[in-house]
Structure 1
Amino acid sequence: MAQSTKAIERLLDKTEYQLVARTQRLTLGSITDPELKELSVQLRERRDKARSTARQQRREMRRKAEPQGTRPASDNSGTKAKADALTAALKRVGAERTRRTEKAHEPSQRSLARKALALKQRQSPAKRPASRTADKGMASVPNPKSAKSGALDHAGQRSAMHRSKFAR
């Protein structure tokens, strides 16, 4: 679920919030590729730290691990939400990096047009007849399933109105 900016600001410390703020849509496009890579490394480190802390707190709550502080953790929802916010930011950075690499490998319209022209020129010309008249024309093909004319009691001789008035 998406979190509001105020909720994210409350969850994260100042440096983490600045990292996450750089991953917003408007600012993400202005970051260079090396900066984007460094941003993803920093976000990944912070996310992994938050995940491991949340995991440790969950173990403390279940009494599976010794408490790290003076008393065992009673809730890890804040740390988990922090990890989720950092994960969402990391996903945005990853999507931007993927978009940039795909755009770099995408062929230009000019190269696609040249390729299409080369394919068109390689084809042999269409074979057309010497004259515009048909050879012998269409040949009728008799339907072997149709009944012979007059085979159905001369039904074709009676009018359609007469046939529809009476039962068959």
Structure 2
Amino acid sequence: MSLSTKQLKRVLDKDEWDLMARTRSHAIGDVPDADLRDLASGLRGRRDKARDIARRQRREIRGKVAPQGAAAASDDSGTKAKADALTVALKRVGAEQTRRAEKLRQPSQRSLARKAMAMKMRKEALKRPATRTPDEGMQPIVNRRAAPSGALEHAGQHPAMQRAKFAR
């Protein structure tokens, strides 16, 4: 379940809110790579701390461990919400790092154009044999068993004219 900005500000402290704000979609694209790594490590440390505190609070609620403070914890929902919010921010940073790595692996337009030009030059360098004539199109193959041209016209036309009862 995602939290609203108002709920996030209530759950996170000032430093954590500043880290979280840098991971928002409009701001994360402007963060340099080195700062992105630092941001991820800072978020990871704070998330781990919040997760550990939430685990300790759950153990206090169950009575498995002595209370850390004056009284035993009665609820861990705030600390759990903090850990969840920091986890979501950490996932956004990881996704941005993956996106940037994929972008670096893609070939540039310049290298693709050079590759296409090299392929074109190689194709032009290959000489076709003189026996091929691509500009003349297909060459007919004469059927030697067929009757000479015009020999069957009258014989083929005669039955059609008789069926129609008039000349075409």
Q: 1:73 to 1:133 in 2, by over 3 A?
A: same
Distance 2:87 2:71 in 1: 28
Distance 2:73 2:121 in 1: 74
CA RMSD between the two structures: 2.4
Which of 135, 139, 153 is equivalent to 2:141? Answer: 135
| Percent pairwise identity | 55
Report the counterpart of residue 103 of structure 1 in structure 2. Answer: 103
Distance 1:75 1:136 in 2: 95
Q: What CA deviation, in whole Å up to 9, does each residue of 1:54-77 have, x standing for no partner? A: 111111112222211122211111
Q: 1:114 to 1:56 in 2, by over 3 A?
A: same
Using the TM superposition, name which of 98-107 and 111-120 deviates more. 111-120
Distance 2:22 2:94 in 1: 13
Report the counterpart of residue 24 of structure 2 in structure 1. Answer: 24
Distance 2:12 2:88 in 1: 13
Structure with bigger helix share is: 2
Q: Which runs of 5+ in 1 are unaligned?
A: 138-168
SS, match of residue 31 in structure 1: coil
Structure-2-length-normalised TM-score? 0.72
Give the superposition deviation at 1:27. Answer: 1.4
Give the superposition deviation at 1:79. Answer: 0.5
Aligned residues: 138
What letter matches 1:133 in structure 2?
A: Q
SS, match of residue 78 in structure 1: helix
What letter matches 1:8 in structure 2?
A: L
Give the superposition deviation at 1:126. Answer: 8.1
Q: Which runs of 5+ in 2 are unaligned?
A: 144-168
Structure-1-length-normalised TM-score? 0.72
Q: What CA deviation, in whole Å up to 9, does each residue of 1:71-113 have, x standing for no partner? A: 2211111100000000111111111111112212221112123
SS, match of residue 113 in structure 2: helix
Distance 1:126 1:60 in 2: 85
